[in-house]
Chain A
Amino acid sequence: MHLITCPWCGTRDQAEFTYRGDATLTRPDPASANAPEAFFEFSYQRTNPMGWHSEWWHHTGGCRQWVKVVRNTLTHEIAATGAAHDVLKVPAR
């Protein structure tokens, strides 16, 4: 049962959040020349990292903001949380 610090609401229980996934992806430019390949990658290709990972958690039961969470997939530690466009430091290992 994670404790996640929402940048707007403060520290809250995991039960208030919905998990989405990888927060390191950026939606490609649909007008670019390689858009088909880029969108295929964006839509389907995922790494499955062991260790630190940036993820989207939606504060569904709270302020309904998408929170960026730097979480360790092995130990479930949370190193940082922030708003969608915050640049968060990801620990080395």
Chain B
Amino acid sequence: MTQPYRLAQGGRIDRNQTLSFQFDGRTYQGHRGDTLASALLANGVRLVGRSFKYHRPRGIFTAGPEEPNALVELRTGARREPNSRATVVELFDGLETASQNRWPSLAFDLSAINGLFSRFLPAGFYYKTFMWPPAFWEKVYEPMIRRMAGLGHAAREPDPDAYEHTHAHCDVLVVGSGAAGLAAARAAGDTGARVMLLEQDFEIGGGLLLDPRHDGWRNETIAALAAMPEVRILPRTTAFGYYDHNVLGAIERVSDHLPVPPAHGVRQRYWVVRARQVVLATGAIERLIAFPGNDRPGVMLATAAETYVRRYGVVPGRNAVLFTNNDAAYATVYALRDAGSAVPAIIDVRATSLAADAARGAGFTVWTGAEVIGVTGTHALRGVQVRWRQDGRITSVPADLLCVSGGLNPSVNLASMTRAPLTWSADLATFVPGTPIQAERSAGAARGVYGIAKAARDGTTAGTAAAQASGHSRSAEFTLPDDDAAAISPIQAVWEVKAKGKSFVDLQNDTTADDMRLAHREGYSHVEHAKRYTTHGMATDQGKTGGLVGSAVLAQARGEPIETVGVPTFRPYVTPVAIGVLAGREVGQHYKSKRRTAMHDWHERAGAVFLETGLWLRPLYYTKTNETGWDPILREARAVRRSGGICDVSTLGKIDVQGRDAATFLDRLYINTFSTLPVGRARYGVMLREDGMVFDDGTTSRLGEHHFLMTTTTANAAAVLEHMEYHAQVTWPGLDVQFCSVSDQWAQIAVAGPNARKTLVTCVEGLDLGNEAFPFMAVADARIAGCPVRVFRVSYSGELAYEVATPAGYGERVWSALLEAGKAFDIIPYGLEAMGVMRVEKGHVAGPELTGQTTARDLGLERLMKKKGDFIGRVNATRPGLLAADRATLVGIQAVDASFERRLRGGAHIVTRRESKQSLGWVASVTRSVDLERWIGLALVRGGPERIGQRMFATSPLHNEVVEVEITSPHHVDPENRRVRT
């Protein structure tokens, strides 16, 4: 029940609320206000993970989102989440966690043997070692590497939680709620600007949280902001990316601090914020120093140790040594001594410093001009080896905690994503944001202005300027924190201590300083190449603690200044993002919307099996009991050929075209002519793309002198409309033509079969359907069951057929009336499959033939092409390659075997001999033919028409199938087109 490293008092945790949690099966206690990391440290848990490549034991290294080591699996079952940084996981009662990347156990990991073979595992080893034989990669090497190097394990079950997306607009967006961010929000809010303040932590305050003396100002500022109606504060919200035109993406972790999200609540929320002005008060992150053993459990960043003491009331070590190159890090030793820890030595690389003098005055032992060259202890730190820089003298000091500070790096990720350049600051030995490009400014530590009071002042300036730039200039007056910062000595840039052993520049990827030098020797000298060769700066922490150190080592190897070498490009995401929140509500049924036709409910009641085509749900066939496989399809197709059937064809694209130049426009859109079409008639049309390939086909009816109704294929409805809009607006703006989609406004029903006319005559009012009065391709208005309809005498099935269109609201009524009228002839509803059977039999081209690589000539539609006048695609369709004699052209194929025994397949190749590998073309569409009682199809075959009558083979080596076929005309059924004109 005890937490041996918890202080009796101090910090921001609530000791009255004790929370139980598990780590690797053991139960521990923490308090409300803890992170998983602080609670583990309070319980003395030092070893929390194994490294990625060498499986070295690792401990908690930081106290924030930059953590490279302490990656754990959270929760179990469907909510298991791997690679979670323990340093940002808010503790709750019942949290179950586990370490990763170890087997059989964390303390005894067999793969740690990799460490002994490390000279065989240098940077880029997987490019070199696992090359041969090539076949081994997939079966042997990759699974082995995955097992050895894998991080955590994702949940196997579907994510049970809900996520959502929210869009927001504001005048001033402030990222970060430390002294600079709070002051910026206050300054902007006071002007009346709409302000959003995002904070990744669960507590507002950033660096203010480390010192209770700042509580007054912090609380007062938060209260003032909360009272402003135009200010919104979002804790637990990480701005992960900065995009064009001042859009930022952010993730709000709404319920991650709860065991499960509340009923009907979301786990996380994805914010898209468009801001007029942005203030980046993202603070700074301490960087490591590369020295041998700088990855051992017990080595920790100095600010992290200070944070554990001051914010969480936890001592991360009882015997602490500090290794620093700057004054700011000295705050840590004061915090540790206040917490009762011994501080046997402070190791400062600088020969002298104000902070060292002050510390000596306060009774600390300070070894100036010294550096750490190694540590002892594997699973826990036991001692630190120190070398004086001037004379090389070596000593060692026992310690269970080594605090390291290589200086601070401003968190410039977001600023850099705006493409603003980074500027090298020699004074601070780091990069700071340069001149902004987008409407943003950095403030406080994010631009190298350190110290609470200075940062707050800087934030005020930034917030005021941002509000002003967004059009809000009311002046504001409020107090700032007191300035009690002492004078400081400058930092001395030290990146690496050269000594024997592995000095890591990237703890998460096990990248050493030697790896960076190797990358340079092997030609990967550009910082982007070195990153990819060594994996330095990749994975969940994106090199936040060691990125600049790696660049510095590379710069040294190249013999160039670090500002020339630079750092790899910063990209989203700043910290890892759960993929579920990116999907938001767009999952399952919400992933894409569904379009249902006016008769959908009827189809459902009739037992239709539906097919999704694009967004549409279309009846595939209607099942009856005891039917299997092709049974319902063939039954429906036979019924249509024998008597009649009706089919829902509402999904066809329909475009109403009007205007004095409507006919001219259609003439230019289609390869054939519409200006000569009489009113009350329809015509089949084919349109090309400008490159000469077939784009779409369909029938177009002339409803009046200046009024046409086009139909498009279901798949191309939207694309054809956009194509028309482009040419009407851009290519021929002078034409008087207007058009719009009426696809959803009309339900459309095909009535097909020898009894189609008899069926219609029974129910149609106000129209003479006699063959002379209403011939093939006629169009007229009429009424069915009191509903207005348009009747088109067009045929897709090859039978005597009509299409009946009615305003969508009447769809089901007209559908039922047609079925009722056809009862005497046993007509039935038929679906997409039966329609497909009949269109292949008839030789009509559809999607499988209109591939975007077939010309009108390839498809036997050349005769439609008008001889005179412009149309889209005309010129390019005459390119020599498209007129070549050996192009594959459309033919029919029929299985020689008059049965359904040996199936044909789409995609099979046409060859002359059974075993031939010389393809003459391919099979596009196949079906069982109800007319011919065998497999038939449509194919594109070189020299097609000349081969009609020849015996060939359709071969599908994938299925090990060869079927003997005869090349035929594409029109398997009624080639003279008699039926449609009966």
Instruction: List A residues at the B interface (Cβ < 8 Å).
Output: 1-3, 18, 20, 27-28, 30-31, 35-36, 38-40, 42-44, 56, 58, 60, 64-66, 75-76, 84-85
Contacts and interface: CB of A to CB of B under 8 A. Distances in A.
B623 interface: no
B272 A1 contact: yes
Interface string B240-257: 000111010000000000
3 interchain residue pairs of minimum CB distance: A1-B247, A39-B875, A76-B244
A42 B690 CA distance: 9
Most A CB contacts (10 A, CB to CB) among B419, B726, B730, B731 go to B730
Interface string B435-463: 00100000000000000000000000000
Contact of B690 (A3, A43, A58, A85): A43
B244 A1 contact: yes
A34 B875 CA distance: 10
Contacts of B729: 65-66, 84
B173 to A, nearest CB: 14
Given A36-B875, A40-B876, A58-B722, A1 B419 contact: no
Contacts of B556: none
A4 B733 CA distance: 23
B742 to A, nearest CB: 14
A36 B244 contact: no
Contacts of A38: 875
Contacts, number: 55
Contacts of B726: 20, 56, 58, 66
A75 B420 CA distance: 11
Nearest to A32: B875
A60 to B, nearest CB: 7
Contacts of B243: 1
Nearest to B272: A1
B779 to A, nearest CB: 27
A84 B733 CA distance: 9
Given A3-B245, A44-B691, 19 more contacts: A1-B274, A2-B244, A27-B690, A36-B875, A36-B879, A39-B690, A39-B876, A42-B690, A43-B690, A43-B691, A58-B722, A58-B725, A58-B726, A65-B725, A66-B725, A66-B730, A76-B244, A76-B245, A84-B733
Nearest to B419: A75
Given A36-B875, A36-B878, A75-B419, A2 B245 contact: yes
Contacts of B690: 27, 39, 42-43
A8 B690 CA distance: 28
B725 A64 contact: yes
B870 interface: yes
Nearest to A3: B245
A43 to B, nearest CB: 5
A38 B690 CA distance: 12
Contacts of A85: 733
Contacts of B691: 43-44
Contacts of A60: 722
A17 to B, nearest CB: 12
B6 interface: no
Nearest to A29: B870
A75 B722 CA distance: 28
Nearest to A66: B729
Interface in B382-406: none
B102 interface: no
A27 B876 contact: no
B638 interface: no
Contacts of B245: 1-3, 76
Interface string B715-735: 000000010011001110100
A2 to B, nearest CB: 5
Contacts of B722: 18, 58, 60
Given A1-B244, A2-B245, A85-B733, A35 B875 contact: yes
A47 B951 CA distance: 49
9 contacts: A1-B243, A2-B245, A28-B875, A30-B874, A40-B876, A56-B730, A58-B722, A65-B725, A65-B729
B437 A75 contact: yes
A69 to B, nearest CB: 13
A57 B735 CA distance: 21
Interface string B849-890: 000000000000000000000100011101100000000000
